[in-house]
Structure 1
Amino acid sequence: MSLDIGKDLSYLLRYDLYHSLSQIDIPPALRSEFVTLTPDEPLSTSLNTLEKLLAEGHFLLAAYLSGAILTSSLISPTDVKVVFALFYTRLVCLELSGNTVLAAQESKALEDLSSTFYYVPPSLETADAGTGGAKNDTRLSYPRHIVPWPLRVLAVRLQNIGFGDSRRGVAGLYELGMEARREIMRPGIGQEERNIWRERLGDLGIRTVNALVEMGDFDAAKRTLNSLGTNTTERGTHKMRKALLLLVIGDLVAARKVFEGSSDSSSAMFTPLLSMAEGRYTDAVGEWRALLEAETQRPDEPLIAQNLAVCLLYTGELNEVRRFAA
């Protein structure tokens, strides 16, 4: 069922907004034809095709199809949920296919996400559309944002690139952080929803540190990262992101402390990364090999194999690299 809250998003359905995509950089043997819409094809069929492309990892094709659907007659400009979902898919797939610059340019169409246009009076429907978690709370007393949270977070980074203003990106993350804190403290909020907002707040903290690192402000990045703290219940992915940022900053001691007393899979991945950061490539080779031998057909096997190959290059084992790559 479509969600109509009286907002006209026709500015996201303009044909001239979306860049033409090409597969010229892809080897001919690996190319696939772009999926085109057929006459009289219902929206549900197109969305199913899009989901299939995403599941198979054809991100460039998915980006093309998302843009095609957005500029077709299948979409109503007032169907907020579908329009934003397709626009988010388009931007994410452009990033994943190596077209971040195009995604940054297209994200500028959203303009200022803090403007009053993107807010509506509180209600069941708008809470669900904007935050994805407050649909059971009828006691909201302030306007709700209609843009889904993942798109808002993504837009902050892409608009930072598109407008060439790093400070704008950091300020945008802080604004989202203030909103997340407000939601965490909201009276009547359920524990499950509060945990969602806490995860979002932690994610914003990591993104802020990353933005500061990209700006070259390592002192501010380190202070911000230290203020985030580390707890035993934190997810492994968040710990790994913190540790990697500390490695980039150059604080190996602090990076090691992130995984102190931890025995999860992320901790096992961090050990060889730390060895590489300290220049102990021979040790890292053994540690990467141990990870590959401990579990076959693991989802992160390509990442481990790539790092192992790099370490083998540093240790001068070129023949082993060739055998491994084959």
Structure 2
Amino acid sequence: MPDEPLGSGSSEASPAPRSESTARSAFSDLDPLASDGLRPDIETDLSYLLRYDLYHSLSQIDIPPALRSEFITLKPGESLASSLDTLEKLLVEGHFLLAAYLSGAILTSSLLSPTDVKLIFALFYNRLACLELSGNAILAAQESKALEDLSSTFYYAPSDLEGTDPGTGDGKGGSPASYPRHIVPWPLRVLAVRLQSIGFGDSRRGISGLYELGMEARREITRLDIGQDERNGWRERLADLGIRSVNALIEMGDFDTAKRSLSNLRTSAADESHKTRKALLSLVIGDIDAARQILGGSSESGIFPALLSMAEGRYGDAAGEWRAILERGGNKADDAW
């Protein structure tokens, strides 16, 4: 069994490859709110993310032998489109460790150009996310350090200023504003904030990084040249950052600040996802009454009766409630959430 990003391994049959442009679009569109107005004449060299020594060896030693699958390697002469198809198949099937391995193999191969910014960042995001999902967050944290300071000028590129009001700097006709735009996709930036705080051993770095992203989200919300859908998208991102900030405070052990921050978070009545996350964080810090208030009628369904019973020390009731959830059947497992 190989334990190197480009080691020998099995080569499973790949599905019929799509065109390279189609395969690229499946991985390059990480950020639907990214600006399309970046100047095409400016190229960024990301060769530092293509170094072989950046990526850790991966192993399946902690996985029971019966559940192991051999790492998939790039075949000689395999096209980029074919390798991306294989990677997408692994992601769809939930083989996250194998997907992390293959992402590293593609990044360190000769298939990529150092200036292929969108695809490199997308593959790097997949590598880090899959490592975290497969229980290798420490490795992901170490590899995320290669990005270094995401607030540096290196990661900002001038926008295409054509069609911009020289007096106000606001774009006309839907063109972006005149300030420099970040070239790293938003999901990677959010993920890197957490992983780098672990990798550098500085939890406050994560808090400050989230606040910087929050300032950017607020700035985007106030832009005059964007539509309502895009503005709502930035509002959702801002709400997500608020939840992540509270979670970071909890991980730091600052429960008092986390409780105050959580109580100040505004949650839309229609946004069940944020309500659920907010309620779970309330349970983590021991504020059971706040969790009940946030959930309202939802506290009587799903997994929350069991969680609330456990939080209140009624373990016998909790055991019965968990058992009832299991008895609903495999096809209703998602209803528990």
| Residue of 310, 321, 334 corresponding to 1:287 | 321
The residue matched to 2:44 in structure 1 has which SS?
Answer: coil
In 2, are the aligned partners of 1:53 and 1:62 still within 8 Å (CA)? Answer: yes
Taking a change above 3 Å as real, the CA distance of residues 27 and 295 of structure 1, as seen in their structure-2 partners, is closer
In 2, are the aligned partners of 1:170 and 1:211 still within 8 Å (CA)? Answer: yes
Q: Tell me how far apart the structure 2 counterparts of residues 282 and 190 of structure 1 sit (CA, whole Å).
A: 52
1:72 maps to 2:96: no
Q: Which residue number in structure 2 is paired with residue 253 of structure 1?
A: 289
Q: Tell me how far apart the structure 1 counterparts of residues 175 and 97 of structure 2 sit (CA, whole Å).
A: 41
Residue type at the aligned position of 2:146: A
The residue matched to 2:142 in structure 1 has which SS?
Answer: helix
In 2, are the aligned partners of 1:259 and 1:267 still within 8 Å (CA)? Answer: no
1:243 maps to 2:314: no
1:33 maps to 2:67: no
| Residue of 202, 209, 219 corresponding to 1:182 | 219
Q: CA RMSD in A?
A: 2.2
The residue matched to 2:280 in structure 1 has which SS?
Answer: helix
Q: Tell me how far apart the structure 2 counterparts of residues 295 and 27 of structure 1 sit (CA, whole Å).
A: 26
1:24-173 aligned at under 5 Å gives the runs 24-123=61-160, 137-173=174-210
Aligned-pair CA distance for 1:231: 2.8
Aligned-pair CA distance for 1:295: 6.5
Q: Which residue number in structure 2 is paired with residue 268 of structure 1?
A: 302
Relative contact order higher in (CA < 8 Å, ≥ 6 apart): 2
Q: Tell me how far apart the structure 2 counterparts of residues 293 and 99 of structure 1 sit (CA, whole Å).
A: 32
Aligned-pair CA distance for 1:251: 0.9
Residue type at the aligned position of 2:276: M
Q: Tell me how far apart the structure 2 counterparts of residues 95 and 23 of structure 1 sit (CA, whole Å).
A: 15
TM-score by length of 1: 0.83
Q: Tell me how far apart the structure 2 counterparts of residues 277 and 120 of structure 1 sit (CA, whole Å).
A: 49
Residue type at the aligned position of 2:214: G
1:9 maps to 2:43: no
Residue type at the aligned position of 1:51: E
Taking a change above 3 Å as real, the CA distance of residues 10 and 231 of structure 1, as seen in their structure-2 partners, is same
Taking a change above 3 Å as real, the CA distance of residues 277 and 162 of structure 1, as seen in their structure-2 partners, is same
Q: Tell me how far apart the structure 1 counterparts of residues 230 and 256 of structure 2 sit (CA, whole Å).
A: 34
Residue type at the aligned position of 2:86: T
Structure 1, unaligned runs of 5 or more: 125-133, 305-326
Q: Which residue number in structure 2 is paired with residue 307 of structure 1?
A: none
Q: Tell me how far apart the structure 1 counterparts of residues 155 and 207 of structure 2 sit (CA, whole Å).
A: 20
Structure 2, unaligned runs of 5 or more: 1-20, 29-39, 162-170
The residue matched to 1:114 in structure 2 has which SS?
Answer: coil
Aligned-pair CA distance for 1:189: 1.6
In 1, are the aligned partners of 2:175 and 2:225 still within 8 Å (CA)? Answer: no
In 2, are the aligned partners of 1:247 and 1:277 still within 8 Å (CA)? Answer: yes
1:300 maps to 2:309: no
Q: Tell me how far apart the structure 1 counterparts of residues 119 and 204 of structure 2 sit (CA, whole Å).
A: 31
| Residue of 233, 238, 243 corresponding to 1:206 | 243
Larger displacement relative to structure 2 (163-172 or 238-247): 238-247
Q: Tell me how far apart the structure 1 counterparts of residues 314 and 151 of structure 2 sit (CA, whole Å).
A: 48
Q: Tell me how far apart the structure 2 counterparts of residues 232 and 243 of structure 1 sit (CA, whole Å).
A: 13
The residue matched to 1:268 in structure 2 has which SS?
Answer: coil
Q: Which residue number in structure 2 is paired with residue 309 of structure 1?
A: none
TM-score by length of 2: 0.81
Residue type at the aligned position of 1:97: S
Residue type at the aligned position of 1:40: G
Aligned-pair CA distance for 1:261: 4.4
In 2, are the aligned partners of 1:240 and 1:270 still within 8 Å (CA)? Answer: no
Residue type at the aligned position of 1:114: S
| Residue of 237, 248, 253 corresponding to 1:216 | 253
In 2, are the aligned partners of 1:160 and 1:169 still within 8 Å (CA)? Answer: yes
The residue matched to 2:263 in structure 1 has which SS?
Answer: helix
Aligned-pair CA distance for 1:140: 1.3
Q: Tell me how far apart the structure 1 counterparts of residues 301 and 175 of structure 2 sit (CA, whole Å).
A: 42
Aligned-pair CA distance for 1:41: 0.7
In 2, are the aligned partners of 1:101 and 1:161 still within 8 Å (CA)? Answer: yes
